[in-house]
Amino acid sequence: MVNAIGPLDDDAVVIELGPGTGVFTREVAHRYPANPLVAVEFNQVFAESLRCGMPKVRVVEGCASRLIGHLDQLGIDPARVGAVISGLPVLSLQRGLSSAIFSAIAEVLTPGRPYIQFTYSRRAWRRFDLPGLRLERTLAVWFNMPPANVMTFRRVGAASPITVGD
Ligand SMILES: C[S@@+](CC[C@H](N)C(=O)[O-])C[C@H]1O[C@@H](n2cnc3c(N)ncnc32)[C@H](O)[C@@H]1O
């Protein structure tokens, strides 16, 4: 997941959606110590635990679909967002919510910046449209239990509907 972020300017903000227990969060903080990290977590217990364990991370207890509002409240200009990574259980979310999350991600990313998503089923993603985001590559992680996939999307210039195909 974190390998897919790539090089970042020092003031670029990394956003993590659905950090849970913070496995990815800790790795991002370790590899990008100079970059602000914002974590948006719905679950109060996880959010508080992250806040206590990683005081430098700006933890927002809220919904990923409201990302633009969260950044606004933190005073962060979306133009500074360098990457969005996500462990959100997108395949289990209601369709309207996943669409709202994809729109929010596309809205905060500038063209060329990545959205990196963890998933257990690459195939199940064929049902989604991700306007303004292009699937660049899928990496199978066989040593994860169960085996998983890391999907890297990239913000494209125009917000046109793009279907995730094979
Ligand atoms: C599979 S877990 C993430 C696993 C994480 N990588 C870890 O190391 O624990 C998914 C997380 O997404 C959070 N989540 C689910 N829906 C959300 C939403 N709409 N907005 C923000 N977080 C959400 C859940 O509370 C949960 O912590």
CATH number for the domain spanning 150: value is 3.40.50.150
Q: What is the pLDDT of residue 23?
A: 97
Tell me the per-residue pLDDT of 61-99, one tens digit each, with 9 for 90 and over.
Answer: 999 999 999 999 999 999 999 999 999 999 999 999 999
Nearest CA to ligand 1 atom 26: 20
Atom of ligand 1 nearest to the CA of 20: 27
| CA pair distance 117, 103, nearest whole angstrom | 15
Ligand 1 centre from 43 Cα, in Å? 7
Ligand 1 centre from 89 Cα, in Å? 7
Q: Is 148 among the domain residues?
A: yes
Atom of ligand 1 nearest to the CA of 23: 8
Atom of ligand 1 nearest to the CA of 21: 9
- The tokens for 1 are 């997941």
Q: How many domains, the chain? A: 1
Q: Is 160 among the domain residues?
A: no
Find the domain containing 145 and state its range: 3-155
